Structure 1
Amino acid sequence: MASSSPARVLLVLGAGPNIGAHLAQTFSAKGYQVALASRTPHPVEATSSKPASAYLHVTVDLSQSESVPGVFETVKAEIGAPSVVVYNAALRYPDTPDDPLSSLSLANFSTALAVNTTSAVAALQQAVQGFQSLPASPSSAFSKTFIFTGNILNVKHFPGMLAFGLGKAATAYAIQDLVEGKNAYRDQGIKFYYADERNPQGGPAGPNIDGPAAAIEYLKLAERQDQGPWLHTFIKGQGYKDFGGQ
């Protein structure tokens, strides 16, 4: 059960064996309680300071967006309201480049949109409600940071990724709107990021997405007290790099 003194809590939605597992290790080493939400648990290696069983796992199917509030309720009841939320889920249904509309079923599109956008928006709603319940502090004790694991598809077209690109672009717009729009979130110390790992040439990291690099970068964002650029493009071993919105 959550203690009377709130702990720093990381919640990863769509926690897999790469980024999710490394986020758990990295944030735990900084004193965070960690909740990992996914359809099935993925192994997280034990460290010298924390056994793998120490992480809270919450079962969720993010194609069912109505299940998102329950995840936050469970995490809050067990270890406290999350002060950092990472939405790491993604679903890609490839299409045929020369006939994308005929090769993409509406059922698959709806499922992909639920995972890539609708559940992300639901998580944004729940995250902000939780952030607003945390103590106001000028320090980084309660980071109040939401990070969406994105990719290059919000700014660049690639054949065969119609549904995937639509989902990423839609959620990127939501993050941009929350950062650049006129709302009260910034004054409340709430931060939003679309994180996108790139290769050194500025292209997509693709299958070479590096979990440890993402964990390092996400921790930097969580520990930063002010809102940085909402589009956080970064390179393994180098950190943030501005590609001019491309």
Structure 2
Amino acid sequence: MSKGTALIVGVGPGLGLALAETFARDGHRVALFGRDAERLEKHAAELTGQGFTAGAYQADAGAPEDLRAALGRAVDDFGAPEVLVYNAALLQPDTPTGVDAESWVRTLAVNVTGAVVAARTVLPLLRDGRGSLLFTGGGFALQPSPEYTTLSVGKAALRAYVQALHADQHGSDVHASTVTVAGAIGGEDPRFAPDVLAAAYLDLHHQPKDQWQAELVYA
């Protein structure tokens, strides 16, 4: 039986690309989303050159209509999705007293609202009503940083949203979960290498239904 499409929102050269490669190797058609069209096309071409089916879709995760439209184009091109991975985030150094209203709006649009838009868009499109909605969380959701305030608040809000979504989907065939990455991705610790992390997302997707969890804390 063929596998449904994997939609990877927030693809860069690190974890996003590793996620696309991992789900492609698992037999999924993969759609890559991000703001840098040239880089996305390069990544998609590399995957296609390896014999996988991949496509690039430029989209701003912080612009709801733009994101919804891009997700719709990918589903039209590749068919019903089986997996959504929301990996987009806007990281900027800031402090609790140094963030203006415009920065809050801009960062939360990507770090939280984009995830909600993606989930609401993809949920009714899942093939046979089955699949996984996976989200990249962060350790700042558990231990907020005064040097990365908007990211801390965004990851905390995302964690709460996904836990609520997980509970909302209880009894369905949809697994909603967040991977709370409590470490530096691509740093010196090999546990946080992008390909190692991506394998944890794939494991969540393949997790037996009676073991489904709202959160995987990866520390």
For the aligned pair, the TM-score class normalised by the smaller chain equals 0.7 to 0.9
* Secondary structure of the corresponding residue to residue 81 of structure 2: coil
Q: 1:206 to 1:28 in 2, by over 3 A?
A: closer
Contact 1:7 1:80 in 2 (8 A): no
State the match for 1:135 in structure 2.
128
Q: CA deviation at 1:169?
A: 0.8
Residue in structure 2 matching 1:22, options 18, 30, 42: 18
Q: 1:48 to 1:130 in 2, by over 3 A?
A: closer
Instruction: Give TM-score scaled by structure 1 length.
Output: 0.77
Counterpart residue number, 1:116: 111
**One of 171, 184, 189 as aligned partner of 1:205:** 184
**1:142-171 residue CA offsets vs partner (Å, 9 max, x unmatched):** 5x1011111111111222121111111111
CA RMSD of aligned residues (A): 2.3
Structure 1: distance between partners of 2:143 and 2:65: 31
The 1:47/1:115 distance shift into structure 2, 3 A limit, reads closer
> Which of residues 4, 10, 33 in structure 1 aligns to 2:6?
10
Moved more, 204-213 or 41-50: 41-50
TM-score, with structure 2 as normaliser = 0.86
Unaligned runs of 5+ residues in structure 2 are none
Residues 1:50 and 1:207: Cα distance change in structure 2 (over 3 Å):
closer
Matches within 5 A, 1:41-190: 41-42=39-40, 43-44=42-43, 46=46, 50-51=50-51, 54-96=53-95, 100-101=96-97, 103-131=98-126, 134-135=127-128, 144-180=131-167, 183=168, 185-190=169-174
**Shift of the alpha carbon at 1:49?**
7.6
Aligned-residue identity in percent: 26
Task: Tell me the distance in 1 between the aligned counterparts of 2:139 and 2:218.
Answer: 11
| C-alpha contact 1:93 1:108 (8 A) present in aligned 2 | no
Q: Which amino acid aligns with 2:201?
A: Y
Q: CA deviation at 1:222?
A: 1.0
CA distance in 2, matches of 1:118, 1:157: 19
In 1, distance between residues paired with 2:27 and 2:108?
Answer: 34
Match status 1:231 vs 2:210: no
Structure 1 CA distance for aligned equivalents of residues 99 and 17 of structure 2: 32
Matched, 1:193 2:193: no
The question of whether the paired residues in 1 share the 8 Å contact of 2:135 and 2:177 is answered with yes
Give per-residue Cα distances to partners, 1:46-73, cap 9 Å, x unaligned.
4798257x41000101121222211221
Residues 150-204 of structure 1 deviation map (CA, whole Å, 9 limit, x = unaligned) = 1111111222121111111111101111223xx4x23221011110233xxxxx3
Between structures 1 and 2, the one with greater helix share: 2
Opposite residue 59 of structure 1, the aligned amino acid is Q
